[in-house]
Amino acid sequence: MDDTTGSPRHSRAPFRVGLIGYGLAGSVFHAPLIAATDGLALDTVVTADPGRQRQAVAEHPGVRTVDSADALFARAGELDLVVIASPNRTHVALARTALEAGLAVVVDKPLAATAAEAEELAALAGARGLLLSAFQNRRWDNDFRTVERLLRDGALGDVLRFESRFERWRPVPKGGWRESGDPAEIGGLLYDLGSHVVDQALALFGPAATVYAETDVRRPGAEADDDTFIALTHTNGVRSHLWVSATTAQLGPRFRVLGSRAGYVKYGLDPQEAALREGRRPGDDGAAWGVEPESAWGRLGAGESPVTGGGEPVPTLPGDYPAFYAAITDALRTGGRPPVTALEAAATLRVLEAARVSATEARTVRLGESA
């Protein structure tokens, strides 16, 4: 199964991008990052909502809008890349259609509902010589980049346990497909925020051997899991404990990484999402992007409490979401690997599928065994 792009393109003209979906993912994340990337040009936005069509044109003057994916694919010869930021249930069918039309594809996470579907898409992309990538932007969070650096530098020694929390306090469900209990919607936090924390754990520590999970529906009126815990044992012996929740009245540390030499504790979320939601863009007025104040830095030490000032403050590397689409552009030009491959997305989905089985059957699942 191939997981690379096809032939390089030697023209320096920008790659023309069609964006399917202009809700939260499309308008806040993808469109601004595409527009800020040298070598990409946001050409067309697909949304049937007249208000969102007006919003897209106002935010990206000159962009075309169409009301269906079919209308976009009818112009496939005028495009180079399709970005799919529509509801989860549509990801596989739209990605397949785009690949069959000869277009490179980026799909917002999760790439698919199952690892098997992701692998089928990877095989199709490989057979067509086309780029296929999943948007796992949290690999470019400031805190995650800082943990990567600490691991490279050996500051922690041998990592024993990795704790990651993506917690929120949202006691009242918002509704919509993300919180739907219909399995066809692929909603709930396991596949939403769980896609991020599992991808990060696998990127840091490699494949998982076993998966244990607990998923709960805690809020009145909620239909999908809103309080979920996942425990991974990686093949190298590291244990990852991962929490995703909408019911956390007191937030824990975003990361706590415990090693044989030291531990690193970091509170708070990367500032890039908040900046994008506020309408700020990478490169605005030359302002620094993804930088947080010193008061938010994590701390590194041993035998001390970071809450009381123990350990040494560690400067947080700037967050760098623009790096994702810069890497996509480079892969399109050179024929190299995308920044997140479809097979990496399949590995994350394999863990999420095992987590669902584990939570349902109250048992630890060994990857590779029959569910």
The predicted model gives 180-192 an average pLDDT of 90
String of DSSP letters for 83-98: EE-S-GGGHHHHHHHH
Q: Is 28 helix (H, G, I), strand (E, B) or coil?
A: helix
CATH 3.30.360.10 boundaries in the chain: 142-269+283-320+353-359
The answer to whether the beta carbons of residues 164 and 100 sit under 8 Å apart is no
In sequence order, what are the beta bridge partners of 365? 211
- The domain 142-269+283-320+353-359 having CATH identifier 3.30.360.10: the answer here is yes
For 235-254, what is each residue's pLDDT tens digit? 999 999 999 999 999 999 99
For 250-275, what is each residue's pLDDT tens digit? 999 999 999 999 999 999 999 999 99
pLDDT of residue 271: 96
* Sign of CA pseudo-dihedral 163, 166, 167, 172: negative
The answer to whether the beta carbons of residues 351 and 232 sit under 8 Å apart is yes
pLDDT of residue 181: 85
pLDDT above 90: residue 305: no
pLDDT above 80: residue 371: no
- Distance CA(272)–CA(279), nearest Å, equals 11
- Distance CA(358)–CA(83), nearest Å, equals 33
For 104-123, what is each residue's pLDDT tens digit? 999 999 999 999 999 999 99
State the pairing for strand pair 239-245/64-66.
unpaired
- How far lies 162's CA from each of 77, 276, 289, 355, in Å? 46, 28, 27, 17
Write out the H or E segment, with its range, that includes residue 197.
helix 193-205
Write out the H or E segment, with its range, that includes residue 40.
strand 40-46
Among 138, 266, 269, residue whose Cα is nearest residue 198 = 138
- Distance CA(159)–CA(280), nearest Å, equals 36
Contacts of 59 (CB under 8 A, 6+ apart): 27, 31, 32
- Distance CA(174)–CA(363), nearest Å, equals 31
Q: At 247, phi and psi to the nearest 5?
A: -120, 25
Q: Which fold has domain 15-137+324-339?
A: Rossmann fold (3.40.50)
pTM: 0.94
pLDDT of residue 287: 75
pLDDT of residue 370: 45
- The rounded mean pLDDT for the chain is 94
CATH 3.40.50.720 boundaries in the chain: 15-137+324-339
For 266-299, what is each residue's pLDDT tens digit? 999 999 999 999 999 998 876 789 999 999 999 9
Question: 247-251, 309-313, 334-338 — which is least confidently predicted?
Answer: 309-313
| pLDDT band at residue 182 using 50, 70 and 90 as cut-offs | confident
Q: Is 64 helix (H, G, I), strand (E, B) or coil?
A: strand
The predicted model gives 171-196 an average pLDDT of 90
| pLDDT band at residue 7 using 50, 70 and 90 as cut-offs | low
pLDDT of residue 54: 98
Among 36, 126, 33, 26, residue whose Cα is nearest residue 84 = 26
Q: At 220, phi and psi to the nearest 5?
A: -60, 130
Contacts of 312 (CB under 8 A, 6+ apart): 299, 300, 301
pLDDT of residue 309: 75
